Amino acid sequence: ESVQKLITLYFEQLTRGCGHENCTNYDCANGKSKRMEPSQAAAIALLLAAKGTSKLCKRSALPESQLKTDGSITNFWTKWSSLLQRSVCKNTVNTSLSAKHTSDQLTRYDSDGRPEACPFSNLDDALHWIPGRDDLCVPSIPLTASVKPARDPSSPKLLICHDMMGGYQKDRFVQGHSLFEDYYFYHWALIEGFIYFSHQFLSIPPPGWINAAHRNGKVALGTMITEWKDGATLCAELLSSKESVVQLAQQMVTMALYYHFDGWLVNIENHINV
């Protein structure tokens, strides 16, 4: 009940707005001093309540006696209460454009409450990742049978590697984006598979790319990369024991199964002590 009241309070303030110029709190629509749309407000209200934040403009706070518990708020609570009861997400509101997975996390959201795909940036988070907490980033299209091109079987095979501005641009938004100007690829019939690449330790392909590849009968691969001095440090940590190597391999297999992609490109670009 207390969580429901907290969500209701946030929802009221987000949709009403405080009207204070240049206010940077969430109830002022990120400083724009205007009201949020109910759908956006509902998503951020859930995130704020789950995080237990108090980042609200006190000048517009509503007394508890004014909280409403009917209409759209009741419907919203009914839809999401089971999620809150199952797990409380820490630090879910993320204002960075380069979100990273953490080991105790549900689906990541940006500061506007939009779910987004993101990579793993370090070994610890990868080893402690638990499947089943990121269902919004799981694609929906299975790998279909590919129509084989009419060509000489001995001819070279083409594998395309997506390396676009570090990855996870607007393609990271799993529910789409109104201003999509990122990289497109159309000629699926000419390739054998697709690799999603970024300069983070483990790159999970966003579901849109996995769906596109599978719809066209092509495999989609994630990337494991270590590079430069930080990469050498990470490899030293990984190779410090057989147990950590086996655990990471098992985690990478589980990630591929959970996110429905088809394997990994392993790219080591640093010195390794053997």
pLDDT in tens, 32-86: 434 555 555 565 666 566 555 444 444 443 333 333 433 444 444 444 444 333 3
CA 144 to mean position of chain CA atoms: 25
Q: What is the per-residue pLDDT for 65?
A: 39
Q: What is the per-residue pLDDT for 165?
A: 80
Judge contact between 168 and 206, C-beta under 8 A: yes
Digit-coded pLDDT (tens) for 83-111: 333 332 322 222 233 455 554 445 777 77
What are the residues whose beta carbons fall under 8 Å from the beta carbon of 99, sequence distance 6 or more?
Answer: 108, 110, 116, 118, 168, 172
CA distance 115 to 131: 17
Q: What is the per-residue pLDDT for 9?
A: 64
Q: What is the per-residue pLDDT for 3?
A: 56
Question: What is the model's pTM?
Answer: 0.62
Judge contact between 198 and 131, C-beta under 8 A: no
Give the residues of the chain that fall short of pLDDT 50.
1, 24, 26-34, 53-98, 103-105
Nearest residue to 142 via CA among 84, 81, 220, 199: 220
Q: What is the per-residue pLDDT for 17?
A: 55
The domains located in the chain, with CATH, are 2-86 (no CATH), 123-269 (3.20.20.80)
